[in-house]
Every structure is written in structure tokens, then in C-alpha cells.
Amino acid sequence: ISDQELLELSEQLYAADGNRAAHGDIVLDLQHQVTSAEASAGKDYAPQRLFQHVAEARLFSKPTFSGLLALLDNYERMTGRSEALTAQEEREEEQFLAAVFSTRVMATLTSFFLAKGLYPSADAFRADLKDMWFGLYSRSGGAALDSSGFEHVFHGEIKKGKVSGCHSWVQLYELEKSGQLNYLSYSYDGAWPSFPDVLALQFRWSSYLKSVGSVLLGSSPEFDLALYTLCFKARPDRLCHVSLGGEAARIQTYSWTNSFYGDGQRFVASAYPVSP
């Protein structure tokens, strides 16, 4: 997959994302911008909430958003504690994937991967995506099957006393709404006048600090999943240069190297937009 193909396909995914937030659907109060030196201090520069308004009725009624929300209460945030997948949670995963794969965004990515010969069929790609994102592995040295790429990126985890992952704006909004997240400051607000935008921020989840976290703000769940999967397949473990609405963006992915699925395939370890 060439650099030019990445730029072109990311723009196609961007154009296909009809479920993303529109102007006015999300209103933020960013308050204080910190320097990189200030970011790690964990000081609260923001007395007000980050999310002043989210058009829940318009956005969260869409199948991929409602599917993501159904998944967010399935995870044990502390590493070292096993994830137990119930039959109901398995159904919720399948319902989410069915919703995602019925969108133009994922159809665009699927067509590209099949044309490149990466998969023999759409069903094979869907099965592999489920394994790479939802397959369980251990972030606790084998003590427990306590993590997955999806949990790390879209839900977030607590590891060694700090927030790890947590790169979904929907999860941040839900945590702040429930009183679990205290927004501290931001360090980067992207150049995009519409959604999705890139936001780098600092926050505490309960008492646990995230000194720099970044999200695609206002994107749909299927867009996040498709863009991160594209970069994970095309540029694993390094910067992936993409284009969103004519603006350059960079995605960093990491693959899990301590355990595998299938024939030596690697799970997703992390994926997020990189801020300057």
C-alpha cells in the first residue's frame, strides 16, 4: 500500500463518513492550553466541563454509536483482572460489527483490501478484524487475559496507576457525563473547522491521570475503526500519514508482540491520532 494510496483512501473514508458529527452537534469548552512541559503535571487548569453539548438524540441513535455504547460497560478497566466474555457481550460485539460493516466507510475499506489481495473475501476480512481488535491477550505478564485492542483504544485501561489508551471521544463524553472524568486542559486542537477534528487533552479518570491523550473528535465509531485498521495493516508500529478533508493527519498504531492469533497474526495494541 503506497503513501499515495493511503492519502487517497483516507480521504475516501472521510467522505464516506455520513454518521460523523455535524456543525453544532458537539460544543466544547477547551479552556486552558498547556505546554508539553505542563501537560505531565496533572494540574487542573479547567474548572468547567469539556463537553458543553453533544447532540445525543441525533448521534447516539445511529446503530454504530448505539452499538459502541452497548460495548463500553463490558470491560474491566484494571489490568491484571480477567475479562470474562458473556453470551450477551458476544452478541453485542456481533451487533456492533454488523452495524459497522453495513456502513459506507467499512464498505470502502473492504473493497480496497480485497482489490489489493489482502483478503480472499469480505467475510475473511470481517473475521480477521474481529480477531485483531477483540481477541484477548494479557497486559499483566500472563497473569490474566485482561485486554484487547478494542478495549484499550475505545474504552481505556488503568495500568500501573495511570490511564492507558482511552482514545474514543464517545467514551470521554460518557465518562465526563457520569462524573468519572475530570478534564484538566488541552495541548492541541487540530486545524479542522468541521468534524472529525484531532484533540489532545489531559484528564483524570477517577484519580488516575492521562497526561496526554488524543482522540478523533466527532468521528463515527466506524470511521475510527476503519482508519486505525487501515494504518495497522499498512504501517504497523510506525507513523501512518493520512489526509482528512484536505488536512494532513498522522496515525500511530502498535501491534501486540507477546502473543498471537491465527497463523502468527498480531493483535492491535494501540491506535491513535498523533498531535504535534
Helix (H) or strand (E) holding 51: strand 51-54
Give me the catalytic one of 23, 43, 177, 210. Answer: 210
CB 91, CB 98: distance < 8 Å: no
CA distance 5 to 175: 36
Nearest residue to 49 (alpha-carbon basis) of 68, 27, 64, 65: 27
For the residues of 133-202, what is the DSSP string, one character each? Answer: HH--B-SSTTS---B-HHIIIII-EEETTEEE---BHHHHHHHHHTT-EEEEEEEEE-S-SSSSEEEEEE
Q: Tell me the three state secondary structure of residue 253.
A: strand
167 is catalytic: yes
For the residues of 89-141, what is the DSSP string, one character each? Answer: HHHHHHHHHHHHTTSHHHHHHHHHHHHTTS-SSHHHHHHHHHHHHH--B-SST
Give me the catalytic one of 23, 32, 62, 167. Answer: 167
155 is catalytic: no
Give me the catalytic one of 116, 152, 159, 160. Answer: 152
With left for phi above 0 and alpha for psi between -120 and 50, is residue 129 left, alpha or beta? alpha
Cα angle: 269, vertex 236, 267; to 5 degrees = 35
Classify residue 56 by its DSSP letter.
H
23 is catalytic: no
CA distance 69 to 71: 5
Active site residues: 152, 167, 210
